[in-house]
Amino acid sequence: MRLIIAEFVAPLACLALDVWALPPGEGERLVREHCSSCHRPEILNRAQGYDSSHEWRLLMASMLELDEPRADIIARYLTEHFRSKPELYPTLVPGPVNIEIEEWMVPTLGQRSRDPIEAPDGSIWWTGMWASLVGRLDPLTGDFKEYPLPATARPHSIVPDDKGFIWYLGNSNGTVGRLDPVTGDIREYETGLADPHTGVFHRNGYFYFTAQRAGAVARLDTNTGDVISVNTAPRPYGIKVGADDLIYVAFNGDNAIGQINPNTLEVNYFTIPDEDSRIRRLDIASDGAIWYVNSSRGKIGRLDPATAEVQEWDSPSGPKSHPYSMAVIDDIVWYNESGQRPDALVRFDPETETFQSWAIPSGIGIIRHVWVTRDKDLLIHQSSSNRIGRVRIIGGPSALDSADALIDESGHQMVLGQRAGSR
């Protein structure tokens, strides 16, 4: 009985705290009415905040539709009580490379768009987790199309195959799903696992995926629907296939990286120094080295699977910077610092052991996954502002000392040559 009561009391206690989280004033009721259905009010205390009603209005417009009077009242209230917090700003490092960030706001507001990928035809796809949909963007025209999924799916991530199908991980209903973009037809495969998370196709034709809450890695035969799984260290997260055909898995519940035989599903573990280390994402360089983000300790690291040697570097914004997503492009490491506001996009050159970083203009949320396109661009997202983005790596000397952003009425945003000095 005590356990049952505790399960109910804890949420109620949180709600009680939330009641007092907002300062009194005009707009308090409207914030609770329109914002608290998706966000706990206390999140405003952790957010970066804005110093003008205009900035708050832009953010609000990416989440929900409000009439002018209510939008104005809420924006003025938020500006008064939740202004920008310099202490949350990332420590930015200048460097020799230019980037260009292009962002699109997706059609359905409040869907928590995330995990964009590039399909073989060059289109960009994403998941709308809260709205249980996947969407397609033509980056040349800006045209969108959204495909509804079963309401219980709440897809976490997606992967394209070479036949044009889009595969999604049904995070809430324990499925792997396949969408036919031509017909809209959906086929779901029951996995019997809680929290299907991130997946990858192997050269052998099987689909491998992590199941975070289940503590398992699984293999799906897409022809038969058969699923074979193996229990692993806690909270398997990111997953990649190496040039050696072995599968590498990051563990967000242990200080380990797993190496999995794709045929037997036997797991070999590499221990990452410090038992408090937690690994969310990883990627693989041309020499076979495994690069990873040590989210809990504010570091990035390199694992040599041949020798088990590990080397780590401190991220520019420090131990609480919470590195999250990871990609290696031409042996240069790219990742984000999600503990800052805005998110910082970070470049690390292993040869010179030097960093460069940029503040992401719409970075009020967390980039949880990135994708490298055929043109070696980087696809990113901002779930909180319902944006999908593409980072073009231009090279050459950086010319600007701050973000130069243009935003049109549809929420499309372009940032050119963005760079900033240290905090």
- Three-class DSSP labels, 11-80: HHHHHHHHHCCCCCCCCHHHHHHHCCCCCCCCHHHHCCCCCCHHHHHHHHHCCCCCCHHHHHHHHHHHHH
Whole-structure pTM value: 0.88
Do residues 254 and 375 share a domain? yes
Kindly list the distances between the CA atom of residue 33 and the CA atoms of 36, 38, 66, 385, in Å, as whole numbers in the listed order. 6, 10, 12, 19
pLDDT score, position 145 = 98
Residue 89 lies in a domain: no
Do residues 53 and 107 share a domain? no
Residue 138 lies in a domain: yes
Distance CA 338, CA 228 (A): 34
Do residues 70 and 188 share a domain? no
Please provide the DSSP assignment of 134-179 as one string.
Answer: EEEE-TTT--EEEEE--TTT-EEEEEE-TTS-EEEEETTTTEEEEE
**End residue of a domain, out of 44, 61, 84:** 84
Give the contacts of 8 (CB within 8 A, at least 6 positions apart): none
Cβ atoms of 304 and 257 closer than 8 Å: no
Peptide bond into 160 cis (omega under 30): no
Residue 285 lies in a domain: yes
Do residues 40 and 186 share a domain? no
Do residues 68 and 162 share a domain? no
Of 171, 165, 233, which Cα lies nearest the Cα of 201?
A: 165
**End residue of a domain, out of 40, 62, 84:** 84
Do residues 73 and 114 share a domain? no
Do residues 212 and 100 share a domain? yes
Assigned token pair, 134: 């996947």
The DSSP letter of residue 91 is -
Give the strands of the sheet with 256-260, arranged side by side. 236-241, 247-251, 256-260, 267-271
Of 202, 238, 176, 219, which Cα lies nearest the Cα of 369?
A: 238
Q: Please state the φ and ψ torsions of residue 188, each to the nearest 5 degrees.
A: -110, 140
Distance CA 225, CA 219 (A): 10
Assigned token pair, 286: 């041309």
**End residue of a domain, out of 34, 55, 84:** 84
CA atoms within 13 A on the CB side of 180: 6
Distance CA 336, CA 90 (A): 11
Residue 312 lies in a domain: yes
Q: Which helix (H) or strand (E) holds 255?
A: none
Assigned token pair, 301: 């690291």
Q: Please state the φ and ψ torsions of residue 108, each to the nearest 5 degrees.
A: -80, 115
Do residues 61 and 207 share a domain? no
Distance CA 423, CA 403 (A): 15
Residue 128 lies in a domain: yes
- Show the CA angle centred on residue 104, arms to residues 101 and 110, nearest 5°: 125
pLDDT score, position 46 = 77
Assigned token pair, 39: 């966000």
Do residues 398 and 342 share a domain? yes
Of 75, 23, 19, 15, which Cα lies nearest the Cα of 49?
A: 75
Strand partners, 390: 102, 379
Q: Kindly give the confidence (pLDDT) of every residue in the chain, 423 residues in length, as a single tens digit, with 9 standing for 90 and above.
A: 222 222 222 333 333 334 447 899 999 999 989 887 777 888 888 788 889 999 899 888 888 899 999 999 999 999 999 998 899 899 999 999 999 999 999 999 989 999 999 999 999 999 999 999 999 999 999 999 999 999 999 999 999 999 999 999 999 999 999 999 999 999 999 999 999 999 999 999 999 999 999 999 999 999 999 999 999 999 999 999 999 999 999 999 999 999 999 999 999 999 999 999 999 999 999 999 999 999 999 999 999 999 999 999 999 999 999 999 999 999 999 999 999 889 999 999 999 999 999 999 887 778 999 999 999 999 999 988 899 999 999 976 543 334 444 444 445 555 544 433 333
Residue 422 lies in a domain: no
Assigned token pair, 253: 């519940």
Distance CA 210, CA 199 (A): 6
Number of domains in the chain: 2
Burial of 70 (0-12, 13-18, 19+ CB in 10 A): middle
Instruction: Find the domain containing 147 and state its range.
Output: 94-416
The DSSP letter of residue 289 is P
pLDDT score, position 422 = 34
Residue 80 lies in a domain: yes
The two counts, helices (H) then strands (E), for the chain are 5, 30
Do residues 133 and 196 share a domain? yes
Do residues 211 and 273 share a domain? yes
pLDDT score, position 361 = 82
CATH of the domain at 298: 2.130.10.10
Do residues 110 and 10 share a domain? no
Strand partners, 227: 220
Within 10 angstroms of residue 29's Cβ, the number of other Cβ atoms is: 13
Residue 254 lies in a domain: yes
Classified as helix, coil or strand, 86 is helix
